[in-house]
Amino acid sequence: MKHDNDSIDPAASRVELNVLWTKAHPVVLAFIRSTIRDFHRGEDVMQEVAATAAEKFDQYDRERPFPPWVLGIARNKVLAYLRKHASDRHVFDGETVGKIATVCVDIEGELPDMRKALEVCMKQVKGRARKILEMRYVRNQNPATISHATGMSANAVSVMLHRVRKALRECVHRQLSSMPMPVDTPQGGD
């Protein structure tokens, strides 16, 4: 049942939106980044989602969970973006985007633990592997650009990225299955 949203104090509504948005933010961003690979473009779309969520927050039915509602907005924004950039290489069609959004809602509950585990595991990645991760994830560089900067071949960069990610996935998996046991070190360093 929908609440009478008109009766809600605007200041309280803003606080409520802030709380809900902060909780849903990681899964929405993950959804957008799963469909728009370029981090900067994805973050632009995220801004649009935030603006629309704030604008339409009075239409949100408080009886229902917030993540599916905001993921619906994100799905529409992503589809609009993909339509506009239809000539980009390797983009998902609308049906696949819809399925991804649905699964994001389904597994949203397990994501915070995964984040905590990843945070712990990331601290163990050092040396060259860390540098390459930073180039990929902070500087938004692709393997070809990283290869120019490091003198490695693009293939070697891709292989190294895959190995580090694999090690991190395994580390997260171990973390999640044996919480609160100590964490092993992923084999990503020099």
Partner 1 sequence: MADSQKFIDAYFDDNFTDQQFAEFVAWISENPVNMAEFVRASYMHSSMRDLLQYDDIRGLMGETLEDGSEKELLVDTQYILSMLEEDEKIAQRKAEEQARIEILAAKKFSTSRHQRNRPRRPKPAPVSQNVFYATACSLVAAIVFIFWMLPAPVPVPMVVASIEDSIDARWSDPSLSTEPGTQLSTLENLVLAKGIVQIELEGGAKIVVEAPATLELLSADSARLEWGKLVGRVPRSEVQLTIQTPQATIVDLGTEFGVEVNRQQVTHLHVFEGRVAVATFDAKGRTTQQRTVLVDEAVYLQPKTGAIEPAPAASPFMSPFMRRLLFPLPIYSTGVGLAEGDDDPHWQIVAAQNMPNFVPQPAIVATPAPTYLPNDSRRSQWLSLSPKCGSGGGLYVPHHV
CA distance 145 to 154: 8
CA distance 151 to 11: 54
Binding test (CB under 8 A) with partner 1, winner from 2, 56, 99, 148: 99
CB of 81 to partner 1, least distance (A): 14
23-82 residues near partner 1, rule: CB under 8 A: 26-27, 29-31, 33-34, 37, 39
Q: Rule CB under 8 A: is residue 166 a binding residue for partner 1? A: yes
Q: Is the peptide bond before 180 cis (omega within 30 degrees of 0)?
A: yes
Binding test (CB under 8 A) with partner 1, winner from 20, 53, 133, 167: 133
Q: Rule CB under 8 A: is residue 188 a binding residue for partner 1? A: no
Provide the Cα torsion 28, 32, 34, 38; round to 10°.
Answer: -140
The residue written with tokens 């995220």 in the block is 46
CA distance 57 to 151: 50
Task: Map residue 183 onto helix, strand or coil.
Answer: coil
134-153 residues near partner 1, rule: CB under 8 A: 134, 136-138, 142-143
CB of 139 to partner 1, least distance (A): 9
The residue written with tokens 């290489």 in the block is 89
Binding test (CB under 8 A) with partner 1, winner from 5, 18, 47, 96: 96
CB atoms within 10 A of CB 1: 6
Residues that bind partner 1 (CB under 8 A): 26-27, 29-31, 33-34, 37, 39, 86-87, 89-90, 92-93, 95-96, 99-100, 103-104, 106-107, 111, 114-115, 118-119, 122-123, 133-134, 136-138, 142-143, 158, 161-162, 165-166, 168-169, 172
